[in-house]
Amino acid sequence: MKSRLSLLILLSFVLNPISWAAPQSTDTSKTEQNQAVKGAKAEKSDKAANKEKAQKPTETNGDQSKPATEEPAGKSEEKKPDESKAVENKPAEAPKPATEGASASAAPGKPVHGDANAGKGKTQTCVACHGPDGNSTVPNWPKIAGQYQDYLVKQLKDFRLGEKGPRYEPSMYGMVVNLTDQDIADLAAFYASQKQTMGKAKEEYVAIGEKIYRGGNIQTGVTACLACHGPEGIGNEAAKFPKLAGQHAVYIENQLHYFRDGKRKNSPNGMMESISHRMNDEEIKAVSSYIEGLH
Ligand code: HEC
Ligand code: HEC
């Protein structure tokens, strides 16, 4: 019953043209939603990785005749092919939910191939806050162990854009401002390969947190989180929905406030901005605590 309800909410959310601001993305959103609803678990396949390698072999350095400021432009160029690719992948794969995540993960555009071993050697400046394996023990520093590689790359690049970027955070900006695309890819590969530790929800928040996570809030139009982040909070790699399960509640809560207040505005099509706008502080606190205990 609950999941039927959230499906309905989700559908109305998707079908409502005003909810999705970005013009080119309606189809992609649907694709993502469908995948999410089906609970397709995205596993990165070797095939996908090789494909990426083959597609983008030469972008590692600035050898191309572009100026040093190429990052932002290069980034938006990469995005378009991705999205159309995701859409075009869909029809062929629709009947096979079990495999679609794996094939669709060829879509994310990575300019360079990350090497986890090389990445490990580049973590000296990260360990102080994120821990040696990406499992931070301080609640406002996120756990990044086991997070999807493409998601990590995207966040690090967004931080690197600094104050003009969609996710400005001074301490992280300082950490990444001098990193190359290759460094970022390697670091992301390393953290993605680590195992994340789990957490616990606070008893008093479980009931309301679970209600929002699994059913959203019909009155205020909050979409159920599980629609995208999955019933177990593991997200969907192909659809670019990050893992949430086990993350520090304080960090989650901060992010929801940042999305709501416009400090963080980097979710595709403004999905998270739009959802968090409909949530009050109490709901944010409860769902954040619930997520920390999810596994
Ligand atoms: C001084 C403490 C500190 C150091 C050192 C640090 N970080 Fe962070 N990191 C943070 C904080 C705080 C955030 C959350 C920022 C926000 O709220 O937007 C964060 C966020 C992140 C995120 C986003 C996580 C997510 O789930 O979206 C990634 C990825 C990350 N850091 C990677 C790194 C890497 C790689 C390094 C080393 C190059 C590093 N950090 C060094 C404090 C730190
Ligand atoms: C329509 C799909 C969708 C729904 C529904 C959704 N999310 Fe998200 N969420 C996303 C996407 C996509 C991102 C990644 C944003 C990015 O790329 O920076 C995200 C990111 C997040 C993050 C940041 C994670 C991090 O590591 O920094 C949090 C926290 C979050 N979502 C919580 C929630 C909660 C709580 C709900 C339910 C109230 C929810 N989301 C519902 C799509 C969704």
pLDDT per residue as tens digits for the range 210-259: 999 999 999 999 999 999 999 999 999 999 999 999 999 999 999 999 99
Q: What tokens does 194 get?
A: 């680590």
255: left (phi over 0), alpha (psi -120 to 50) or beta: alpha
Closest CA to 226 of 203, 245, 208: 245
**Would you call 217 helix, strand, or coil by DSSP?**
strand
166 CB-near residues (< 8 Å, 6+ apart)? 158, 264, 265, 266
Question: CA-CA-CA-CA torsion for 27, 269, 44, 245, nearest 10 degrees?
Answer: -130
Which protein residue's CA is at the shortest distance from atom 2 of ligand 2?
228
Per-residue model confidence (pLDDT) at position 285: 98
Q: Cα(81) to centroid of ligand 2, in Å?
A: 23
Residues at CB less than 6 angstroms from ligand 1: 125-126, 128-130, 140-142, 144, 147, 152, 155-156, 167, 169, 171-172, 175, 187, 254
**Would you call 264 helix, strand, or coil by DSSP?**
strand
**Would you call 32 helix, strand, or coil by DSSP?**
helix
Which protein residue's CA is at the shortest distance from atom 27 of ligand 2?
255
Q: Cα(130) to centroid of ligand 1, in Å?
A: 7
Measured between alpha carbons, how far is 19 from 181 in angstroms, rounded to an integer? 33
Q: Cα(89) to centroid of ligand 1, in Å?
A: 33
Q: Cα(23) to centroid of ligand 1, in Å?
A: 31
Q: Which ligand is nearest to the CA of 256?
A: 2
Residues at CB less than 6 angstroms from ligand 2: 142, 154, 212, 222-223, 225, 227-229, 240-242, 244, 252, 255-256, 266-268, 271-272, 275, 287
Q: Cα(172) to centroid of ligand 1, in Å?
A: 5
13 CB-near residues (< 8 Å, 6+ apart)? 19, 221, 223
Below-50 pLDDT ranges, the chain? 1-3, 5-107, 110
Q: What count of residues does the chain have?
A: 295
C-alpha pair distances (Å), 125 with each of 75, 141, 244, 248 = 25, 14, 24, 21
Per-residue model confidence (pLDDT) at position 270: 96
Closest CA to 280 of 258, 266, 251, 260: 260
pTM of structure: 0.73
